[in-house]
Amino acid sequence: MQNFHPNLIRLLVFDLDSLTANFKQESWDNFRQFLLVLDDRDFEILLISESIEASEWESFAKLSVLQSTAENAFQNNPTLSAKDVFWFSEQPELQKKISRTSHNFAGSDGCTTQNGGLQYQHLHDILQIFHPSRISSGDLSANLFKLKQHSQQVPLMLGIGGPDECGHSFFVGELTDALEDQELLVSIIDLSQVLGTEFQKRSVSSDKSSSSLWRSEEIRDWVVEEVLRPYSRGQQVYFENPPQFIQEYELCTFPFFLAPEMILLIWGTTVFLPEFEKLIDVRVLLELSAKTAAARLFALDDRENFDQSFVETYLQKEGKYYANYLSDYDVPNKIDYRINFENFNAFRLKEKT
């Protein structure tokens, strides 16, 4: 399957008549659970069968049904042969027709590979492939791996920013796993409790090369001068115990060790500031809609239509302060990777514009 990338797929089409011919009730239950996972990952799903009832599938957010044979559906709907559509079918003749267009299809039969498709042993194995968040983390880590392999002893610092309480730690965890899968050494500094717009009125500094968004200048100086700057110069950094003034904030684990051959992930709401300008090598921004950002801040289900007043409150306070930060420091124009972070299970790298 040439040029296939799972994160370029929008619609998953299932030829039910060929896939479920020998299904018993337990198999149907497992299949529904399988579809629920794909539904949570923001894929559109189309089920095709000569005998299907739409009412049986109404609980799915992005699922539709088509009463037809799969071959007729493919022949009569040109959109189903688009490059962002992926088929699941056990019909060799249908597979051959699909192979003349996109090659985007899978099946468990041995003929699938011969026809140019992806063969699986169990349908649930597909969940390892159509996993947007894991694929995105893998793509980003592959790029970082290339940078690190080119200069293994040169420090590499990755800054990860995004709105308050948007789920930075989830993204960092996924990326860390992907980097460690490539046997890269990773260290993490979490600035979410000591750096952010909520501190902007507490600290006033005459230093024009730094910001006033820190919990304290003492913390800022330790992070920048005692950890990041030495690391950026290729020096090892080691602290047996945390300084007294950061003990109540979980910035990192102690003993803390950092060496040039490691990759440093530093994350928080407002990490793209003047004091980091010459220290951070790669900038990643997690982007969310106001509704999703508000939902996460107030611990609401962002899939539900909750009271609009929560969004309005967010836009008047935290959202406004964050937008001002993005504008004041020209953050969008400095970003290397933008992440669509609307869905934890389906975050994706945005194409560079």
Q: Residue 322: is it exposed, middle or buried by C-beta count within 10 angstroms (0-12/13-18/19+)?
A: buried
Place 144 in a pLDDT band, splitting at 50, 70 and 90: very high
Residue 211: the pLDDT is 63
Q: Residue 301 — pLDDT band, cuts 50, 70, 90? A: confident
**Residue 227 confidence (pLDDT):** 97
pLDDT band at 202 (very low <50, low <70, confident <90, very high): very low
pLDDT given for residue 2 in this prediction: 63
Whole-number average pLDDT of the chain: 91
Q: Where are the domains of the chain?
A: 6-128, 132-349
**DSSP run (H or E) holding 324:** helix 318-328
pLDDT value at residue 103: 76
| Residue pair 311/282 in contact by the 8 Å Cβ criterion | no
Predicted confidence band of residue 203 (pLDDT cuts 50, 70, 90) = very low
pLDDT of residue 4: 84
pLDDT tens per residue across span 62-76: 999 999 999 999 999
Between residues 49 and 149, which one has the greater pLDDT? 49
Mean per-residue pLDDT for 288-315? 90
CATH class of domain segment(s) 132-349? alpha beta
**Residue 210 pLDDT > 60, yes or no?**
no
Would you say residue 206 has pLDDT above 70?
no
At 99-142, the pLDDT tens digits run 988 779 999 988 898 989 999 999 999 999 999 999 999 999 99
Confidence bin at 201 (pLDDT 50/70/90): low
- Res 92 pLDDT > 70: yes
Per-residue pLDDT band at 160 (split at 50, 70, 90):
very high
pLDDT in tens, 270-294: 999 999 999 999 999 999 999 999 9
Percent of all residues in the chain with a pLDDT value above 70, rounded to a whole number: 96
pLDDT in tens, 237-262: 999 999 999 999 999 999 999 999 99
Residue 200's pLDDT is 77
From start to end of 53-181, where are the E strands?
A: 63-67, 85-88, 105-107, 118-119, 156-161
What single-letter amino acid sits at 174? E
Mean pLDDT value across residues 215-221: 94
**With b meaning 16 or more CB within 10 Å and e meaning fewer, what string describes 291-308?**
bbbbbbbeebebeeeeee
Average pLDDT over residues 219-239: 96
- Asked if 30 and 126 touch (Cβ cutoff 8 Å), the reply is no
- The pLDDT of residue 265 is 98
- H/E stretch holding 239: strand 237-239
pLDDT at 353: 55
Those residues whose C-beta lies under 8 Å from the C-beta of residue 52, and which sit 6 or more positions away, are 16, 65, 66, 67
The pLDDT value given to residue 101: 85
Q: How confident is the model at residue 327 (pLDDT cuts 50, 70, 90)?
A: very high
- The pLDDT-based confidence of 343 (bands split at 50, 70, 90) is very high
Architecture of the domain made up of 6-128: 3-Layer(aba) Sandwich (3.40)
Give the whole-angstrom CA distance, residue 291 versus residue 297: 10
